[in-house]
């Protein structure tokens, strides 16, 4: 029986955190789609329309780095959940910008960010 997994989405270049509860049987690819379409910050330095893809990092490694990994469930990806009750598993979210002429360069995004948004857990 699949259970819910509680995530804390930490967006790169943003001072924005979001909580997300998903079923542990959800694939990594589906999780990326949900983040991009439903949870991308409205006032982000990277517009959602300019995103090529979303990269997710948890426990010091990238989730869905290869197409085979993308098809795994988040349960199979072995996201580390803190042992304390009420704590959420931290997942860092990074948008990859489309490579067309209209997209903002990563350098422009870095210049727009407002200082360090590191989170120590």
- Tens of pLDDT, residue by residue over 21-55, are 999 899 999 999 999 999 998 888 888 888 888 99
The residue written with tokens 């329309």 in the block is: 49
At residue 96, what are phi and psi to the nearest 5 degrees? -105, 125
Question: What is the reported pLDDT for 33?
Answer: 93
d(CA 54, CA 50): 11
- Tens of pLDDT, residue by residue over 42-90, are 888 888 888 888 999 998 889 998 889 999 998 888 887 777 677 898 9
E strand segments, the chain = 4-11, 17-23, 51-58, 61-63, 89-97
Question: What is the reported pLDDT for 120?
Answer: 60
Among 9, 1, 5, residue whose Cα is nearest residue 90? 9
Q: Assess contact for 55 and 46: CB atoms under 8 A.
A: no
The residue written with tokens 């990326």 in the block is: 32
d(CA 23, CA 14): 26
Q: Tell me 81's DSSP state.
A: -
Question: What is the reported pLDDT for 7?
Answer: 92
């Amino acid at each position: 029986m699949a259970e819910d997994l509680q995530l804390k989405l930490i967006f790169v270049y943003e001072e924005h955190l979001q909580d997300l509860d998903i079923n542990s049987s959800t694939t990594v690819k589906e999780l990326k789609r949900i983040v991009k379409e439903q949870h991308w910050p409205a006032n982000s330095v990277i517009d959602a329309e300019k995103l090529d893809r979303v990269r997710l990092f948890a426990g010091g490694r990238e989730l869905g780095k290869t197409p085979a990994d993308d098809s795994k469930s988040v349960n199979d990806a072995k996201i580390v959940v803190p042992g304390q009750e009420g704590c959420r598993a931290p997942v860092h979210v990074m948008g990859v910008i489309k490579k067309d002429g209209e997209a903002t360069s990563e350098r422009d995004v870095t210049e727009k960010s407002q200082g360090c948004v590191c989170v120590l857990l």
